[in-house]
Chain A
Amino acid sequence: MDFSFTKQEELFLQMIREFAEKEVKPLAAEVDEEERFPMETVEKMAKIGLMGIPIPTQYGGAGGTNIMYGMAVEELSRVCATTGVILSAHTSLCAAPILEAGTEEQKMKYLPKLASGEWIGAFGLTEPNAGTDAAGQQTIAVEDGDSWVLNGSKIFITNGSYANVFIIIAMTDKSLGTKGISAFIVEKTDPGFSIGKKEKKMGIRGSATTELIFEDCRIPKDRQIGQLGKGFNLAMKTLDGGRIGIACQALGIAQGAMDETVKYTKERKQFGKSISQFQNTQFQMADLETKVQAARLLCRKAHYNKDHGLPYSAEAAMAKLFAAETAMEVTTKAVQFHGGYGYTREYPVERMMRDAKITEIYEGTSEVQRMVIAGKLFK
């Protein structure tokens, strides 16, 4: 058993920490406050190859590991959860399924642009009436000559208004249930495709979460991705990977809140001593630190499995479940340790607590993760 990083991963950690600290952290409060998509950060990330970490070099990626990708999401989220989820949705939900199921032509067409960051990616599965029960898809794709024609809408789509390319899940044969669901690649400029309203959210407020609208959206035949009727499987597999990304985002948020709390409790004096010296602080923080570390190990194990071609569905669910709940607990307590100041926007823990909540919800709620884990347990 080996818990150590490769030399490359160690060097990567050094780089991403510095990048997060110097380029991302200074913008975090502003991006949240103004609900602004940090395009300048995405451009900087693109320049050094962060938008294509685990994409193989033959498709223009960096050829890195998923462990590295997870480190990137964690370190970015540690200072700015918005930036973390932009990278996670782009990589796990758009590039990954193309890599997984795309034809060689599709890979050559989309992956280099996604890897270089010239294009941003997104993923559309959720609908107003198909959330946790994703099988209830109402978006319909109909074959028409050399085209597919899509009708319907998607909601809560991360990167929505900034993405150039979308993986869209739609019903191709309603009579077959989940076996009648297929996946498509839609480009921003396709006729009949438009961006709907932008959500006003509690947290990750800089990420552009929007509705996608398809009104006789006509796309060429070769945009259908993976086998016809296997779209649901592709979506589930995509979410398995995406969940590790979100787990890493939650982990980063938790770590960020730990950093802030350690710093604050050492500085803040009450009753003549710093509050870090009280046993209540120490015991609670020790418990939280242990949970954060456990979450990290779950995240790393899930990405390790993915890197090594091992099954990772249940591992991803456990990582996300535990990391998300840890993030919520750590950030809630972080606010408590900060007292009145923690409730204000003078300190970042308030933002972190709002950001943490979404990790228990998107890409499968904590309840869904429990279903996945139990499903494996009792199969």
Chain B
Amino acid sequence: MNIVVCIKQVPDTTEVKINPQTGTLIREGVPSIMNPDDKGGLEFALQLKDKYGAHVTVITMGLPQAEAILREALAMGVDRAILLTDRKLGGADTLATSSAIAGALRTMDFDLVITGRQAIDGDTAQVGPQIAEHLDLPQVSYMEDLQYDEATKTFTIRKQLEDGYQILEMQAPCVVTALASAVKPRYMSVSGIVTAWDKEVEVWGADRINVPEDRIGKTGSPTSVFKAFPKQLKPAGETFEVTPEEAVELIVNKLKEKHII
């Protein structure tokens, strides 16, 4: 079984802070990490590797520094790592991103493609299903469990819903998008870390993927950002440093005032 996991390097948005004076983002010192849902997807792939000896490839599209998450994936135990990087791919929205990654996948042999459900810097949850569409493959998103039947080459997927779950079956080749909360990703092993640079990270440019230029990068993006601005917070109310007794009084009065009680 060949599995390709699509991963993304993202800023750890939980570490992002706002400058209260200027209202702008403080990006300095914000660590870059492997997107959590992608890491969950990678764990699913590595479990299939443990069980069935699957060959696992990771691919990322991004700037050259995205190599860091590919090394991390190698240290976790993947067999092959590909960095898709090219100026022509820059400025892509989800559709152009998915076109480029689908282009790369078209040149590879795989039974299963796993992406994360969504990336924490964009939270769109679009690239996985869009990749599947470009490749004309069936896909199930919001995966929280995955079983494989070797005899029939069938994947059984548990898909999360708001009020429960679904069990779906799908035959290879196919695409799934994984949830980080569904699985605990393994740690990099020490020997994996020591040997993470022994393998080559393959660097692919836009010429490698054979996708028309009007479908990739900024040109291939139907959406554009008209403007970006820091979030307006509503004006603060009053804050009190008081004894617990006084605090209870203040709260009760407020609740009465707003007719909550």
Contact = CB atoms under 8 A, between A and B. Distances in A.
B191 A11 contact: no
Contact of B191 (A14, A18, A19, A63): A63
A227 interface: no
Nearest to B187: A48
B72 interface: yes
B189 A48 contact: yes
Interface of A: 7-8, 11-12, 14-15, 18-19, 48-50, 52-53, 57, 61-64, 68, 269
11 contacts: A7-B71, A8-B197, A11-B75, A11-B193, A11-B196, A14-B72, A48-B186, A48-B188, A49-B189, A52-B190, A63-B195
Nearest to B72: A11
A48 B71 contact: no
A7 B71 CA distance: 10
Interface string B220-245: 00000000000000000000010000
Given A11-B71, A11-B72, A11-B75, A50 B188 contact: no
B194 interface: yes
Contacts of A11: 71-72, 75, 188, 193, 196
Nearest to A23: B187
Q: Lowest 9 CB-CB distances: which A-B pairs, in order?
A: A49-B190, A62-B190, A62-B191, A15-B188, A48-B189, A49-B189, A48-B187, A11-B193, A12-B193
Interface of B: 71-72, 75, 186-197, 241
Contacts of A14: 72
Contacts of B189: 48-49, 62
A8 B187 contact: no
Contacts of B75: 11, 15
Nearest to A15: B188
B10 to A, nearest CB: 15
A74 to B, nearest CB: 15
Contacts of A19: 187
Given A7-B197, A11-B196, A49 B72 contact: no
Nearest to B31: A14
Contact of A18 (B71, B187, B192, B195): B187
Nearest to A68: B190
A8 B191 contact: no
Contacts of B191: 49, 57, 61-64
A64 B194 contact: yes
The interface centre, meaning the residue of B186, B194, B196 with most chain A CB atoms within 10 A of its CB, is: B194
Given A11-B71, A11-B75, A64 B193 contact: yes
Contacts of A61: 191
A12 B187 CA distance: 10
Contacts of A18: 187
Contacts of B196: 7-8, 11
A8 B71 CA distance: 9
A15 B197 contact: no
A269 B72 CA distance: 41
B141 to A, nearest CB: 27
Given A8-B196, A48-B188, A49-B191, 8 more contacts: A7-B71, A8-B193, A8-B194, A11-B75, A14-B72, A62-B193, A63-B191, A63-B195
Contacts of A64: 190-191, 193-194
A12 B241 CA distance: 44
Contacts of B72: 11, 14
Contacts of B195: 63
A57 B193 CA distance: 13
Contacts of A269: 241
B197 A50 contact: no
A151 B71 CA distance: 52
Contacts of B192: 49
Contacts of A52: 190
B190 A48 contact: yes
A207 to B, nearest CB: 22
